[in-house]
Amino acid sequence: MPIQTRQADLSVQQGHETFRLFQGVQSSGDIFEVNASSKAFCVGPQSDLCSYRLSFFDKQAGNNIEEMDLAVGNPIIGRTDAKLATSYPLTALPARILVTPNDLVDNAFLPTAFTPANLDFVFARPLPFVDIISYLSEPAGFAPGRADRTFFYPFITVGIAPQAVYFILPYYGRRYANISVVNRNTSGVLDYTLDVLGVNLSAGTTFSAPAGRSKASEKTLGVLSAAAGVTDDLVITAAADGMFDLLSIRLTAAGAILDEDSTLRIVVSDRI
């Protein structure tokens, strides 16, 4: 269980109308706690995950624990109580409201094509964030949804083939992505190729070689090619390509010139 950085009761003591749970997610088994009763919950604007499970004490539910799903565009409306004077069945834990990811999280995921012998490495793997807003008083309205997120890398480079560099980005439930690479190299022959894959994570690891790899599915969504002085773009949509947990971008190059000027920008959105 991660160390939780914020507590709802402090927001209550300070007279706030909302409590925001906002921090990085380490695994699908993370459990976050809300220790103050709430009038409603919604997914916040900077959430990377799109679906959560809320568990709370209810004498009328099986095992006295009620569960409800919270998702982008699907707030939970109505009073939910944190009963700190009561314990969950078979435990000595106070009956706080518990929040867990419905989405699978694997911050150690490596693509199937990742080859240590080629000196492949992961250039960027942003930590996915949970963002949930708990309304401590009657809400006048809800957060309109997740904001677009931009991943910008102002310096990209890779060694001599067959070395590859990977960018592994959270994409949970997003419906649109625009990937743009700009090859600003002018000092020699250096052509970039970017293979873009959509990844759906899975529980467990493989037994066959390479053993210990994720059982995730990987689907090729497109290829970008950028010779010197060229810009290339790729647009991904849920309608045309499907929905994924992660985007995996594999960067390779023809040439061995150090490039300090080329850039990569990825914008992900819930809107098409």
Same domain, yes or no: 31 and 88: yes
The verdict on 152 and 251 lying in the same domain is: yes
CA dihedral angle for residue 244, residue 76, residue 47, residue 135, rounded to 10 degrees? 180
Q: Are residues 154 and 47 in the same domain?
A: no
| Cβ atoms 121, 7 nearer than 8 A | no
Q: Does the predicted model carry a pTM greater than 0.85?
A: yes
| CATH code, domain with 200 | 2.60.120.380
Query: Is 11 a residue whose pLDDT tops 60?
Result: no
φ, ψ dihedrals at 11, nearest 5°: -65, -35
Residue 210 belongs to some domain of the structure = yes
Q: Are residues 155 and 265 in the same domain?
A: yes
114 pLDDT band (50/70/90 cuts)? very high
pLDDT digits (tens, 9 = 90+) for 201-236: 998 777 876 777 788 999 999 999 998 889 999 999
Task: Return the DSSP state at 174.
Answer: -
Tell me: do 201 and 259 sit in the same domain: yes
Are 158 and 96 within one domain? no
Q: What is the pLDDT of residue 160?
A: 82
81-102 per-position pLDDT tens digit: 888 778 887 777 888 889 999 9
Residues 172, 64, single domain; the answer is: no
> Which residue did the predictor score with more confidence, 191 or 8?
191
Write down the pLDDT at residue 61: 79
| Cα angle 67, 72, 75; round to 5 | 55
Minimum mean pLDDT range among 22-36, 82-96, 220-234, 256-270: 82-96
Same domain, residue pair 158 and 65: no
User: Is there a domain that residue 132 lies in?
Assistant: no
* 253 in any annotated domain: yes
- pLDDT above 70: residue 8: no
Q: What is the pLDDT of residues 162-193, one digit of tens each?
A: 899 999 999 999 999 999 999 988 776 789 99
How confident is the model at residue 13, as a pLDDT?
45
Do 262 and 155 belong together in one domain?
Answer: yes
In the chain, how many domains are there? 2
Radius of gyration of the chain from its Cα atoms, rounded to whole angstroms: 22
Domain that holds residue 193: 148-269
